[in-house]
Chain A
Amino acid sequence: MGALDSSPVTDALGGRSDRPLRWGISLPLVAYVALIVCVLTANVVWLARPHPDTGQSYLASLYANDALRGEIGYALKLSMVSSLISAIIATLLAIPSAYALSRLRVPFRALIDTIVDLPLVIPPLIAGIALLLFFRQSGMGQWIENHLLPVVYTQQGIVVAQFFIASAFAIRAVKAAFDQVNPRFEAVARSLGASGLHAFVTISLPLAKSGVIAGFIMTWARAIGEFAPIMMVAGSTPGKTNVLPISAFLNMSAGNVEAAIAIVVLMVAIAAGTLVLFKQLGGQGYIW
């Protein structure tokens, strides 16, 4: 594992007499890890078993199905593009916001901090309904719909729904990164002649870099996995707004279990890759 083991672990229960206690404590952990691994492998094994008609594996027969391949391919592309856009916007917004929360004496700071956390705590479906109501029924939302950007039941709606929730993630993660940087570094830089902006760009931002990148990755992971708010705001039109999770849901509802499971495996792979990347970049467990 090497690089994944970021913190050294001291064994508090190293003695022979501690052995029963050791097992007692470790058992729930082992059981939970086993559960996760079993659930995920069951999906892969299920896809790999031979199809009774063709003799090929389910995965291979799925791949041979052009229509299905096209649909999943489209969903993957749409998911990738929309989540990247929303993660980039969210991170760009998060850098100044998180810096302000971390460094500046903002009025009503505790209140703002709580409001920023709200999208993380509100159930996603509820956030989606709230967003839909905002764009359809409120004056401001309607104005945005009519004059700025049509959102409801459009592809832009996907990005808006992802952005609404992912931004909170980005701000949390980037703030944690800035919190780690000693504010005196900037103070020294300024005494040496740097303007506030220059000190930020040459000192604080580079020092928070890996935290910001890790934050971006987790933001993106959250965005790509978003389902309910997208369903509410952008709808679930195949060929238009069916991102991967929606595609999985539509296939599952229509009885195309194989296709749904293929998406499951794809998304698990994406999530695992993201986590490895996140930990490689020194990300801490502050996201969840």
Chain B
Amino acid sequence: MIQVRSLSIKLGEFSLRDVHLSVNRGEYVVIMGPTGSGKTVLLECLVGLYGAESGEVWIGGRRMDGEPPERRGVAYVPQDYCLFPHMTLADNITYGMRLRGTPAEERAQKLQMLSDLLGIGHLLDRRPLHLSGGERQRGALARALAIDPDVLLLDEPLSAVDEYTRDSLCEMLKGLQRKLGITTLHVSHNLDEALAVGDRIAVFGNGTILQEDEPCEVLSRPANSFVARCVGVSNVVPGRGVVEDGQRWFEADGVRLHLRSVPEGPCVLIVRPEHVRPMPPGARDRGPRMEAVVRHRQERGPLVWLDLQMGGLSLKACLPSGAFSPDADSLSAGTRVDVVLPEHEVHFAPN
């Protein structure tokens, strides 16, 4: 449905280069990346606010770069929602339909349908100034959906709502998207949000898309260290793979790990903190193990985070706290432990 090919834009301090992205019909894709990385620029380029320097944008099988926004069939919900302040919510929602000359009766039906769906029926006579953040968000969504767009573009739609509301809005967004089958591109810097709604995640950084894949694939096999940090993998260790006598080793900071999957030459080892298993010395578990010391222990509700030091190398481990796992209690700061890295959870990326 959306095809972006080798798109490059230069816009003030932002520059996008060689962006490739493809979103299938009816799919929900989240573009994830740190704040200020130019995600919004990419979205607004799809809307048609900026012309590209080079590259192509295809939407619904038609080439759209160079077409004005009104011909793209793309509904856009900006981060600040931008409900027109001089119109009531109802007039905001029907704005697009009025432009299209939709008959009044049909407009009223659609308004009714959308306001029921989004639970904003009682707010229709209000001006945006008198709506809360969540109400504005749903209003802006209704306005976008009212034109039956081919594509829905959401820019940080949940950044202005509190965490509690975010969960329920995530469910609502996903449910709505499933129900209406709208191809959706959603920009976010929040991993939880991306995982909650995305069929696929595209990680954006340094002005381009670094990895585009299903959520669990991005989580477990990040393409590089930037993507890894972006999706919450705190263990990214640069080092090199060495082959000796047919055995493969990963070397970093004077530590040697026997890992069969390591490629030869410089690379980064990537392992999620929840896959790093510290255990009392002598306990039996499969996988390469090494001695380590617990440097620091931090309780965060149901989870315990440990900083593990092995030679010059430090790794973070995350495990359920004592109430959930008896092992965790014994792992206080200063304890000597054996660390096991399950072979199939360790992933290597080019440095």
30 A-B residue pairings within 8 Å (CB atoms): A184-B78, A184-B82, A185-B82, A185-B84, A187-B44, A188-B76, A188-B78, A188-B82, A188-B143, A189-B95, A190-B48, A190-B68, A190-B69, A190-B70, A191-B69, A191-B70, A191-B74, A191-B76, A192-B99, A192-B143, A193-B96, A193-B100, A193-B147, A194-B95, A194-B99, A195-B70, A196-B68, A202-B95, A206-B86, A207-B85
CA distance A187 to B82 in the complex (A): 9
- Whether A198 contacts B72 by the Cβ 8 Å rule is no
Within 8 Å of chain B (Cβ to Cβ): is A257?
Answer: no
Nearest CB on A from B49, distance (A):
5
Q: Return chain A residues, CB-CB under 8 Å to B74.
A: 191
8 Å CB contact of A203 from B70, B76, B84: B84
- Whether B82 contacts A191 by the Cβ 8 Å rule is no
Q: Return chain A residues, CB-CB under 8 Å to B75.
A: 191-192
- Mask: chain A, 162-204; 1 = CB below 8 Å from B; 0 = not: 0000000000000000000010110111111111101000110
Within 8 Å of chain A (Cβ to Cβ): is B53?
Answer: no
Q: Which residues of B contact A (CB under 8 A)?
A: 44, 47-49, 68-70, 72, 74-76, 78, 80, 82, 84-86, 95-96, 99-100, 143-144, 147
- Whether B85 contacts A193 by the Cβ 8 Å rule is no
CA distance A190 to B144 in the complex (A): 11
Nearest CB on A from B190, distance (A):
21
Please name the residue on chain A nearest to B146 by beta carbon: A192
Interface size of A by CB at 8 A reads 18
Minimum-distance CB pairs A-B, first 6? A192-B96, A190-B69, A191-B76, A193-B99, A184-B82, A188-B82
Nearest CB on B from A226, distance (A):
34
- Mask: chain A, 221-263; 1 = CB below 8 Å from B; 0 = not: 0000000000000000000000000000000000000000000
Known: A189-B95, A193-B99. 7 other contacts (CB 8 A): A184-B82, A185-B84, A188-B78, A190-B47, A192-B75, A192-B96, A192-B143
CA distance A82 to B122 in the complex (A): 51
Please name the residue on chain A nearest to B75 by beta carbon: A191
CA distance A76 to B90 in the complex (A): 48
Please name the residue on chain B nearest to A209 by beta carbon: B86
Most B-side CB within 10 Å, residue of A182, A188, A203: A188
Q: Return chain B residues, CB-CB under 8 Å to A191.
A: 47-48, 69-70, 72, 74-76
Q: Return chain B residues, CB-CB under 8 Å to A196.
A: 68
Given A190-B68, A190-B69, A194-B99: A184 and B147 within 8 A (CB)? Answer: no
Q: Return chain A residues, CB-CB under 8 Å to B80.
A: 182, 184
CA distance A196 to B82 in the complex (A): 17
Most A-side CB within 10 Å, residue of B44, B82, B144: B82
CA distance A203 to B92 in the complex (A): 11
CA distance A13 to B95 in the complex (A): 49
CA distance A206 to B144 in the complex (A): 21
Nearest CB on A from B326, distance (A):
54
Q: Return chain A residues, CB-CB under 8 Å to B86.
A: 206-207
Nearest CB on A from B269, distance (A):
43
Most B-side CB within 10 Å, residue of A190, A192, A202: A192
- Whether B100 contacts A187 by the Cβ 8 Å rule is no
Please name the residue on chain B nearest to A192 by beta carbon: B96
CA distance A184 to B43 in the complex (A): 13
CA distance A202 to B96 in the complex (A): 12
CA distance A138 to B104 in the complex (A): 60
CA distance A219 to B72 in the complex (A): 41
CA distance A191 to B145 in the complex (A): 12
Please name the residue on chain B nearest to A193 by beta carbon: B99
Nearest CB on A from B184, distance (A):
14
CA distance A194 to B99 in the complex (A): 7
CA distance A187 to B280 in the complex (A): 60
Nearest CB on A from B219, distance (A):
32
CA distance A188 to B74 in the complex (A): 10
Given A194-B70, A195-B70, A196-B68: A187 and B95 within 8 A (CB)? Answer: no
**8 Å CB contacts to B: which residues of A61-80?**
none
- Whether B99 contacts A187 by the Cβ 8 Å rule is no
CA distance A128 to B100 in the complex (A): 52
Nearest CB on B from A267, distance (A):
36
Please name the residue on chain A nearest to B74 by beta carbon: A191
CA distance A206 to B95 in the complex (A): 15
CA distance A191 to B68 in the complex (A): 9
Given A184-B78, A187-B47, A198-B99: A193 and B84 within 8 A (CB)? Answer: no
Nearest CB on B from A178, distance (A):
15
Q: Return chain B residues, CB-CB under 8 Å to A192.
A: 70, 75, 95-96, 99, 143-144, 147
Q: Return chain B residues, CB-CB under 8 Å to A189.
A: 84, 95
Nearest CB on A from B271, distance (A):
42
Q: Return chain B residues, CB-CB under 8 Å to A206.
A: 86
Q: Return chain B residues, CB-CB under 8 Å to A185.
A: 82, 84
Q: Return chain B residues, CB-CB under 8 Å to A193.
A: 70, 96, 99-100, 147
CA distance A282 to B176 in the complex (A): 42
- Whether B69 contacts A187 by the Cβ 8 Å rule is yes
